[in-house]
Structure 1
């Protein structure tokens, strides 16, 4: 099968077309003929050699990609209770990249618990655009366990994880205080933000103003600003981080360190998010679409930043 990967770390140009053996579905697994795969920032982190435990060389190519959409073309034995998919069904899946096992592939084998029926109202491109980021946000909100009416501040609210924090937080009845540049304010309000505040140096002061000086009950740091935004959190509040950090909050603030790959088989959450998309309660945002052979160009554009939505590779 064709896959897009690399045998050395570095700039986008290290990406190349690889020929790999077709994978086989084992017990509790399905094989998907991939039609679309998303490009996420973590893919670039792996490509650059900055992800612990993932090292490429000539004998061990790496293939990245965490979100796929396609059709089931093989089903292994011993499926989990409640499994109701068939060969030919359109599905989406969450991928934990490991070695040459990654979403940038024509075929991928996944645990059935990592797969669910594709929302009926989207195509493969949109189907591949949301799962890992929405799951990251969903698991964050589960961990924060904020009661309805609590305040959630969000940095990077126009981005993928930040946008889903806004959308899913609003659906939980939270008062969402989200940052946005002027040209993103309409987008962020449309996702359900209660208050839109300024990005950057003014963010902390704006959050404190909105909360009458108290600070937010919790903060999802989608923009990876870490200690710079801690003053926006109230004493005894919570903050969610999305990259490894040495920051140790004071004032009784509890950190949550997100690592969505540990939850790849959270089928209940994966299914819930897919059905929210199907009901129009959760958005899909596609920034750009590239043929898989143009993955280098996709990664070059990723490095420029300011994307609103996910880039998608098609197979």
Structure 2
């Protein structure tokens, strides 16, 4: 029997509230062992072991937590008796944690994140089925070498594409324009496509010897946005992500400020839309900015932060954004 190791971090999947209700709950009421006891048939899929590595809302997760989580997964992956790892996680920042791990975890063994939109005490709690499917995927041969994956509401999503698209319904995640890369049918994964970007063992990034990440901030553009926010954010950071309108664009007053700031720190253009692609534009030559390609702002922040551990050169950073 395959062995799957569970790393629990908290989130709604561990939450409790008024019996039967889907709102007004509190995270972290059930630990990893109590979660596993609530899932029928999961012991027939894999031998399970786990630990409560964190017990927080995903709103409170930090870059330091990401580094510690990646290091722990790397150590677990070295154990030949462990075939896969599952991380239970709050949904609000799951896409960010998944992408960070996708760039820094060094194993071909399956690493799968899941969670829930409803607490364990709800009449229609979605956590047990999501966790059952995550364990099944982590124990499967088919998931090996596909990078970090997210399983949610029967869908399998790659870490580079996954995005929370609904803050209320159980089917809360999507793969943007690209959709999911497969489905879970109870314990059986059905892959439809493969992740296209470099990940895990094929990336140039590592958390070994790293305790702190370079600070990168995000500036959200909107109509008549005050350009002074750019100076404020850039003064606190080693890099800046622009969540621009449309295809990553902004006002003339913002462009004037960006033109000055890009001489000091790298600036990446992304879109607040959440779908589509920000490719090279003449403004990148003018403003000395870097197009963020298909990455949403929060994932572009992660990539720039990791890239700054290696280089601050604009050409090198531009190549990294094209690769990842």
Whichever structure has more strand as a proportion of its residues is: 1
TM-score bracket, normalised by the shorter chain, equals under 0.3
The two structures have a TM-score, normalised by structure 2, of: 0.26
The two structures have a TM-score, normalised by structure 1, of: 0.27
Higher relative contact order (CA 8 A, sep 6+): 1
